[in-house]
Amino acid sequence: MTLLSLPDDLRGTFKAPLGPVYTDTERLLSDAGDPIVAVGDVVTYHLRVAGRDPNVAVIDGKTKREAVGEEIAAVLDGDAPRIEVENAPATLSEGLFSALVDALARDEPTVIHVTGEEDLATVPAVVAAPEGASVVYGQPDEGMVLVDVTAASKREARDLLERMDGDADAALDLLARR
């Protein structure tokens, strides 16, 4: 069930990075907190190749709306437990919110595999993750964005969720169950 959808007037807001952009995975990892939530197939790939399996990886098998290549797919097909969810493009589903909370509560790295699109998952991930964590996502054709989860970044993410169309109160209640 879709809880939130992206209104046209917010689309530009989501194009600006929510943190610094990195092109060097090792440098990003040296600056990252713990746990790490990775949103995107290519970001997850780079973290794993660098030897750091994200605590939570949110993937959909695509990059720039196209299927990822075989090399990336092979690295993504690991042994980590998977949670399967549906999430339509430009939306955030109840299943995605619940999966984020569930995955963050687990002791082992967990993959959330999205049928549909995972692009907006960064925002609820920042709200759901504990302070001190990091959320990493891809900025197309630029690199990886590192969002430090702080009280301020959580407020900013909550504000973005509240500005989306739909039931923001229900969405925030789901994320508060962590």
* Residue 63, strand partner residues: 66
119 is in an annotated binding site: no
Sheet holding 91-93, edge to edge: 91-93, 2-5, 165-166
41 is in an annotated binding site: yes
Maximum distance among all Cα pairs of the chain, rounded to whole angstroms: 40
42 is in an annotated binding site: yes
φ, ψ of residue 33 to 5 degrees: the values are -90, -165
9 is in an annotated binding site: no
Yes or no: say if 85 and 112 are a contact pair by the CB < 8 Å rule. Answer: yes
141 is in an annotated binding site: yes
Residue positions forming the annotated binding site for GTP: 41-43, 60, 62, 118, 141
Residue positions forming the annotated binding site: 41-43, 60, 62, 118, 141
